Amino acid sequence: MSYTERVLVAIKEKDSNQPEFIQAVSEVLHAVEPVLLRHPEYEKNAILERISEAERIIQFKVPWRADDGQIFVNRGYRVQFNGALGPYKGGLRFNPSVNLGVLKFLGFEQMFKNALTTLPIGGGKGGSDFDPKGKSEEEICRFCCNFINELHKYIGPDIDVPAGDMGVGSKEIGYMYGHYRRLTGKNEPGAFTGKAISHGGSYVRTEATGYGLIYFLQAMAKVNDIDLNNKPTIISGCGNVALYALEKAQQIGLSVVAISDSQGYLVAEKLNLELLKKIKETQKLSLAEYIKEDTSAKYFNGSVYDSNIKAEIILPCAKENEINGQQAEQLVKNGAIIVAEGANMPANRQAVECFLDNDILFAPGKAANAGGVATSALEMSQNSMRLRWSFTEVDNRLKDIMLNIHDQLLQTIKEYDLSKHDYPKAANIAAFEKVAEAMIAQGFY
């Protein structure tokens, strides 16, 4: 049995109830087998065992009081996965789907995504099974403060720097940072990223993941001689990533014909971005409300990937495993030429294999959606220097980082003689080498 298989067998035995984590680890460990052949010292130093085990897992209860006086209890988590490259860095997710296995998967992926930015940040993830939907502002604020009552002991600008994720925006980060400051007595804006501009946030942070996705898409298209102008495009999701991917996609001339949320999807010849922002960001309503003001659009229940829409560019920006193998086959039949992940692992293993087998250009999330964490790291830099860069300066730095990530993948494809379309394996190899070398350089005891 190979080194890789031995490690995977042990992980599957220990974490059999964590399918998302096992899926992510299996993908990475199989992808980096060529690296292990070049570096036998990695096995001697137990790199696979160490890199696939979180350095620290913190789990705690979060009791909170509703407006009617009833007390509820949720679980809070922080998975500090790997700090070899710098302070743990990754978002907090508030959603009923949150459990330890999901956060281990996200923290594991975050470690490699952060490595590709080449910025000095390690990987982590956290959150709670608390559902902010339907809660009052006072209830959300109380929950955030009680969450930080425990988490503040384990974070800080040089230790672990949380950010937002699903269910956690700048408002929630503000509540948490304010309570962190009261508890610690320290004014450390670098303890959190994703803050509002009023108290140490960075320009472009809201737009960063969506914008970065399109910058990566442009780089892929350029080296493969693909003209993106007027290419019909599907975007799934309707949060920050999807909306700002839509904004930048329209700016560069892509024709976005469909967008979705958790209940259904819109199809239109031209989507009205400002109307979408009003419905999803301000009013926080279903996409079904869109057709009340734009009667030229059509709304359908279900997944956009079960539709029969003809599209060449596919940008999944919602959640993990939203595209399965059968749906991927339909996308290929309907003309897909590029799939770029704006979410973490939205295409499952069968879907990725389908895309690669059909020579579809496929950009994995750990590379294509790294813009958000990259801009979070830029926010940390600005906080450390007590200054703020302009929107244009941050946007230019973000674009440079995304183009550099793409260049790293091209270099890895060449160095390891991979298929020119095998961006997923290249991303895993490039990121793994960075983390592994840092771990070896720091010794073991």
Task: State yes or no: pLDDT of 444 exceeds 90.
Answer: no
- Same domain flag for 182 and 323: no
pLDDT mean over 88-114: 97
- Please state the separation of Cα 419 from the chain's center in Å: 25
Residue at 333 is within a domain? yes
Task: State yes or no: pLDDT of 42 exceeds 80.
Answer: yes
* pLDDT the model gives residue 33: 97
The CATH number that applies at residue 216 is: 3.40.50.720
Range of the domain at 338: 208-368
Residue at 442 is within a domain? no
Residue at 267 is within a domain? yes
Write down which residue in 134, 155, 187 finishes a domain: 187
- Same domain flag for 171 and 70: yes
- Same domain flag for 299 and 331: yes
Count of beta carbons in the 10 Å neighbourhood of residue 286: 15
Nearest in space to 423 (alpha carbons), one of 373, 367, 369, 370: 367
Beta pairing partners, 124: 80
CA distance 210 to 392: 16
pLDDT, tens digit, 9 for 90 and up, residues 151-179:
999 999 999 999 999 999 999 999 999 99
Nearest in space to 210 (alpha carbons), one of 23, 63, 351, 399: 399
Residue at 42 is within a domain? no
Residue at 443 is within a domain? no
State the pLDDT confidence band at 71, using cuts at 50, 70 and 90: very high
Residue at 304 is within a domain? yes
- Same domain flag for 66 and 215: no
State the pLDDT confidence band at 420, using cuts at 50, 70 and 90: confident
* pLDDT the model gives residue 174: 98
Write down which residue in 348, 368, 388 finishes a domain: 368
Task: State yes or no: pLDDT of 381 exceeds 80.
Answer: yes
State the pLDDT confidence band at 445, using cuts at 50, 70 and 90: low
- Same domain flag for 152 and 232: no
* pLDDT the model gives residue 270: 93
Task: State yes or no: pLDDT of 401 exceeds 90.
Answer: yes
pLDDT mean over 207-218: 98
Write down which residue in 336, 368, 400 finishes a domain: 368
- Same domain flag for 159 and 225: no
- Same domain flag for 98 and 180: yes
The CATH number that applies at residue 177 is: 3.40.50.10860
What is the domain count for the chain? 2
To the query of whether residue 125 is one of the catalytic residues in this protein, the response is yes
pLDDT mean over 9-20: 96
CA distance 190 to 118: 19
Token pair 């949060």: residue: 239
- Same domain flag for 142 and 255: no
Residue at 162 is within a domain? yes
Inter-residue contact 272 to 296 (CB < 8 Å): no
pLDDT, tens digit, 9 for 90 and up, residues 245-300:
999 999 999 999 999 999 999 999 999 999 999 999 888 899 999 999 999 999 99
- Same domain flag for 78 and 159: yes
CA distance 214 to 368: 8
Angle between helices 100-116 and 371-385 (to 10 degrees): 70
Q: Give the Å distances, CA to CA, from 355 to 57, 339, 345, 410.
A: 35, 8, 14, 18
Contacts of 99 (CB under 8 A, 6+ apart): 129
- Same domain flag for 215 and 362: yes
Contacts of 133 (CB under 8 A, 6+ apart): 167
Residue at 36 is within a domain? no
- Same domain flag for 182 and 239: no
**Catalytic residue (choose from 89, 113, 125, 366):** 125
Token pair 């969450």: residue: 147
pLDDT mean over 363-389: 97
- Same domain flag for 358 and 222: yes
What percentage of the chain reaches a pLDDT higher than 70?
A: 100
pTM for the predicted model, two decimal places: 0.95
